[in-house]
């Protein structure tokens, strides 16, 4: 619901003109219980590009830079061979590599989850978002659902996520649109701008390997 509301304020998003009520959500067909149609990401044709350079070089460019404060990746201790589907053969399928990635990320960045103003969270499914909220320390294990239901993920909430609509409502460009949205937010150029945003978490590929970056607005 948060991602759709944010997409409704983002003109280029696939779902920009399509509102979604909670009643609409519960009326949608079940795909694989408990996940319904709108728990799944979009299928999209699209492309994104980013330019990465040194901080010194970036100061001379036309646009204000957004700085990479830290990056980290990780895998769960019982990681299995293969890309994604072996995740369901693990002892605890709710334990993601984001927990290892997050611990290292916060150590390297010198900040914690409580200091993030916004987050662009890899949302191939709604459950992926909930599990990552827990893995990266925004709430305790088993508390991701109530955290989301509290309104924390919407504009004006504790942690607005996927402020362009994310994979669920903007478009599925394999996490690159999350990076672009993070940069736009920290430059103050987003369609649905979060005022005074300085720090943003961006995650990718949560099943089962986790990757993450903290972006910082340049002074």
Catalytic residues: 122, 172
Give dist(CA 199, CA 168) in Å, integer. Answer: 23
Helices within 36-157 (DSSP H only): 55-58, 98-109, 126-135, 144-149
Contacts of 73 (CB under 8 A, 6+ apart): 97, 101, 209, 210, 211, 212
Instruction: Tell me the torsion sign for CA atoms 165, 169, 172, 173.
Output: negative
Cα separation, 141 vs 163, in Å, equals: 24
CB 11 within 8 A of CB 164: no
């Amino acid at each position: 619901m948060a991602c759709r509301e944010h997409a409704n304020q983002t003109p280029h998003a696939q779902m920009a003109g399509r509102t979604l009520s909670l009643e609409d959500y519960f009326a949608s067909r079940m795909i694989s219980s408990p996940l319904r149609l709108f728990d799944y990401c979009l299928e999209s044709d699209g492309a994104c590009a980013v330019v990465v350079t040194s901080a010194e070089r970036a100061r001379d460019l036309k646009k204000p830079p957004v700085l990479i404060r830290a990056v980290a990746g990780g895998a769960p201790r019982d990681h299995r061979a293969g890309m994604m589907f072996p995740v369901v053969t693990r002892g605890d399928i709710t334990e993601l590599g984001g927990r290892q990635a997050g611990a290292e990320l916060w150590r390297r960045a010198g900040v914690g989850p409580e200091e993030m103003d916004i987050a662009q969270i890899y949302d191939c499914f709604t459950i992926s978002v909930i599990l990552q909220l827990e893995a990266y320390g925004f709430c305790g294990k088993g508390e991701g659902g109530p955290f989301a239901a509290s309104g924390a993920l919407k504009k004006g909430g504790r942690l607005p996520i996927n402020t362009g609509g994310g994979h669920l409502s903007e478009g599925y460009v394999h996490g690159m649109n999350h990076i672009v949205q993070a940069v736009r937010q920290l430059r103050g150029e987003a369609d649905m701008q979060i005022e005074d945003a300085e720090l943003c978490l961006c995650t990718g590929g949560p099943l089962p390997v986790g990757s993450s970056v903290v972006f910082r607005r340049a002074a």
